């Protein structure tokens, strides 16, 4: 029998919909072994507010999580100062980061096979005086890796990014041959390790309209992207591009590809979210751990109403489980 997969699930911003999405999981039995990393009193208060009957059981490393309806395993985290739905509180900021640290550290130590994250609120964390640009960068620093890659995926489409949370004016300067090569190597390697693709086929977008129009609309394609792709092709990678972003995301190209690589955040993600918002998953590649997340924000206006849709969370859990099992198979020498 295969070893059960255990995933840590951080509940995210207490004022947002993350806690109730976690609680919704207890309304039915689950195949996945989930441990919610959060404040137990905060979860209890939200459950009472929503009328969700749930027994929160303390989890310890080495213990199999609860999968029965009406029960959730919880790794309690101290420091949640306010649990009022829809009302941000800067005093919760360190607590939110502590949940991420505990989950990621548990993955590194082997207590968890991966982590799934509910949404956090970047603004309130920064208002608390803590520099924070997102889960991706936080986990990169915590795991001590030089480069990570953000990839969003649905069942039909995977889109990875060369740059993530940067002002648009800073994007061209950030796209260097070194960075592009690092990102593409990580994407190629993790598509093999976590998705079982022996020879990944990757489409690469240009930076400028029409992929630079032969240098008339920008020279980044000529001076940075094309030379880098030639080097990587010589290493055996299957790369197509640079392609104009406005035609890359069409069946002509996507039907014969495993992933697309966009140069910046709003070049690739609007297409993916239009195609599958609410059932997409955010994946961090390049880490020594499995990490997935929902594809939406904290939705403060929905918090406490019971109307939040857990579709993306279910997808994130399902994908994290698949990634963990695929890595186990690859490590065991059975890529099938």
CATH number of the domain bearing residue 154: 3.40.718.10
Instruction: Please indicate whether residue 233 or residue 136 has the higher confidence score (pLDDT).
Output: 233
pLDDT tens column, 205-224: 999 999 999 999 999 999 99
Which pTM does this prediction carry? 0.91
**Residues 126, 179 within the same domain:** no
In the chain, the DSSP E strands lie at: 6-10, 33-38, 55-58, 71-76, 114-117, 149-153, 158-161, 201-205, 238-243, 259-262, 281-285, 291-294
Mean pLDDT of the chain: 94
Predicted pLDDT at 1 = 41
Contact 80, 20 (CB under 8 A): no
**Residues 208, 234 within the same domain:** yes
DSSP code, position 16: S
**Residues 60, 101 within the same domain:** yes
What angle in degrees, to the nearest 10, is found between the helix axes of 311-331 and 177-195? 80
**Residues 157, 183 within the same domain:** yes
Distance CA 115, CA 9 (A): 6
**Residues 165, 138 within the same domain:** no
Predicted pLDDT at 266 = 96
Cβ partners under 8 Å of residue 194, min gap 6: 285, 290, 323, 326, 327
DSSP code, position 189: H
State yes or no: pLDDT of 204 exceeds 60: yes
**Residues 192, 264 within the same domain:** yes
**Residues 188, 264 within the same domain:** yes
Q: Phi, psi (5° rounding) for residue 92?
A: -90, -10
How many Å separate Cα 242 from the centre of its chain?
A: 25
State yes or no: pLDDT of 308 exceeds 50: yes
**Residues 174, 279 within the same domain:** yes
**Residues 37, 122 within the same domain:** yes
**Residues 159, 123 within the same domain:** no
- Taking each continuous run of H as one helix and of E as one strand, the counts in the chain are 13, 12
**Residues 251, 299 within the same domain:** no
State yes or no: pLDDT of 336 exceeds 70: no
- Domain of 266 in residue numbering reads as 149-286
**Residues 7, 88 within the same domain:** yes
Domain total in the chain: 2
Contact 285, 160 (CB under 8 A): yes
């Amino acid at each position: 029998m295969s070893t059960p997969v255990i995933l840590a699930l951080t509940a995210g911003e207490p004022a947002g919909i993350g806690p109730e999405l976690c609680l919704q999981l207890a309304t039915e039995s689950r195949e996945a072994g989930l441990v919610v990393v959060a404040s137990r009193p905060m979860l209890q208060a939200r459950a009472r507010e929503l009328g969700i009957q749930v027994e929160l059981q303390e989890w310890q490393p080495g213990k199999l999580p609860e999968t029965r309806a009406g029960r959730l395993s919880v790794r309690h985290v101290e420091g949640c100062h306010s649990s009022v739905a829809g009302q941000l509180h800067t005093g919760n900021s360190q607590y939110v980061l502590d949940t991420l640290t505990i989950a990621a550290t548990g993955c590194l130590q082997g207590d968890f096979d991966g982590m799934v994250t509910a949404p956090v609120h970047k603004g309130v964390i920064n208002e608390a005086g803590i520099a924070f640009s997102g889960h991706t960068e936080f986990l990169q620093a915590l795991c001590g890796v030089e480069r990570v890659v953000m990839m969003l995926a649905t069942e039909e489409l995977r889109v990875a990014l060369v740059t993530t949370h940067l002002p648009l004016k800073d994007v061209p300067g950030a796209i260097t041959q070194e960075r592009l090569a690092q990102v593409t190597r990580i994407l190629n390697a993790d598509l093999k390790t976590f998705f079982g693709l022996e020879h990944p086929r990757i489409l690469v977008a240009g930076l400028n309209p029409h992929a630079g129009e032969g240098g008339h609309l920008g020279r980044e394609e000529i001076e940075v992207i094309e030379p880098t792709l030639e080097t990587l092709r010589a290493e055996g990678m299957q790369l197509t591009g640079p392609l104009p972003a406005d035609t890359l995301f069409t069946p002509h190209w996507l039907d014969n590809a495993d992933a697309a690589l966009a140069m910046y955040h709003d070049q690739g993600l609007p297409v993916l979210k239009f195609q599958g918002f609410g059932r997409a998953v955010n994946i961090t590649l390049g880490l020594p751990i499995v990490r997935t997340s929902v594809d939406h924000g904290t939705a403060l206006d929905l918090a406490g109403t019971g109307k939040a849709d857990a579709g993306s969370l279910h997808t994130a859990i399902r994908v994290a489980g698949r990634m963990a099992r695929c890595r186990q198979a690859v490590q065991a020498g059975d890529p099938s």
